[in-house]
Amino acid sequence: LQTRLQAGQGYGNTLSCLLTVYRNESVAGFFKGMSFPLASVAVYSSVVFGVFSNTQRLLSQLRHGDPAHPPALADMLLASTLAGLVSVGIGAPVDLVKIRLQMQTQSYTAADPRLKPTVPGSPVYRGPVHCFRTVLQKEGLTGIYRGAGAMLLRDVPGYCLYFIPYTLLCDWSVPEGGASPTPSSVWLAGGAAGAISWAVATPMDVVKSRIQADGVHLSKYRGTLDCILQSYQSEGFKVFFRGITVNTVRGFPVSSATFLGYELSLKAMKRGQSETSP
């Protein structure tokens, strides 16, 4: 729904988009392009969270001589920025494949593959691997990283407003003298951080989705700034908030589960280390 609302045409609002996808593509239409994100989400999250936490620990070690010292706001800001930078290197190709497949409103087998598709929605890719290989062959490495600039402008502030609100909300929820936040506090703080982050990131998410969907049948946008200008001139300022409801509503449970899983995993690993230590 998010991709169709942001990069597609004629869907109107979220409910209209949902009904149109279901009517034309059945339930399977809601799961297009999910295999690449599912295959890579564990590595992606591990790297992003690892960069964030290890950068904080390194900065605390350099500043205070103790990696466990609570980080300053500036340290969290730098750690979040680095996490956002790293996320683009892993996430841009995955997002490109996902969006290209999601923008195919027809299945590949429904058309004659000998005919060259010329209109938006025509089937071009047989699946995620075929999509990745085709883009790499036709557009090169720059094609795989199409939209990386817009993604960078989305993820750097997005992760700053993801990790920092989460950390502050968790600190606020811990009672005086408490060691760590409760699972319910982590769940709530993670969900709130995810909703905030995605709400703020939506304008650049729209630009990223449009650039990555571009280039299949024709190249409409010359870059991030050109996409912003063309989108604004043709559809007005409101275009940059397409999909904000889906992003925000989805961001809460996804981020809640992500942070809760992260914190519980850390506790389990620390418990295991303490039990095996002599």
Residues 188 and 250 in one domain: yes
**Residues 201, 224 share a domain:** yes
Query: Is residue 9 assigned to a domain?
Result: no
Q: Which two tokens stand for residue 30?
A: 């809601």
Same domain, 159 and 261: yes
pLDDT band at 113 (very low <50, low <70, confident <90, very high): very low
Residue 17 within any structural domain of the chain: no
DSSP assigned state of 242: T
Residues 89 and 155 in one domain: no
> 3-class SS at 222?
coil
- Domain membership of residue 25 (yes or no) is no
Q: Which two tokens stand for residue 77?
A: 């800001």
Highest mean pLDDT among 83-97, 178-192, 208-222: 83-97
Same domain? For 138 and 151 the reply is no
Indicate whether 16 belongs to any domain: no
Residue 177 lies in a domain: yes
Residue 244 lies in a domain: yes
Residues 229-262 pLDDT 10s: 999 999 999 999 999 999 999 999 999 999 999 9
Domain that holds residue 164: 147-277
Q: How confident is the model at residue 178 (pLDDT cuts 50, 70, 90)?
A: low
Same domain, 118 and 153: no
* Residue after which a domain boundary falls, among 121, 145, 169: 145
C-alpha distances (whole Å) from 181 to each of 51, 168, 199, 250 are 22, 11, 25, 23
Residue 183 and residue 99 share a domain: no
The structural domain count of the chain equals: 2
Helices then strands, counting H and E runs in the chain, come out as 9, 0
Q: Has residue 260 been placed in a domain?
A: yes
The reply to whether 154 and 272 lie within a common domain is yes
**163 and 90 in one domain?**
no
**Are 118 and 189 members of one domain?**
no
Do 151 and 95 contact (CB within 8 A), yes or no? Answer: yes
> Final residue of a domain: which of 145, 163, 194?
145
Residue at 5 is within a domain: no
Q: How far is residue 169's CA from residue 189's CA, in Å, rounded to a whole number? A: 6
The whole-number pLDDT of residue 232 equals: 95
Q: What is the pLDDT of residues 68-108, one digit of tens each?
A: 888 899 999 999 999 999 999 999 999 999 999 988 876 55
Do 137 and 181 lie in one domain? The reply is no
Of the pLDDT bands very low, low, confident and very high (cuts 50, 70, 90), residue 111 is very low
Q: What is the C-alpha to C-alpha distance for residues 18 and 67, in angstroms, rounded to an integer?
A: 48
Please give the Cα distance from 117 to 107 (Å, whole number): 12
Residues 39 and 141 both lie in one domain: yes
Q: Domain boundary at 117, 145, 173, which?
A: 145
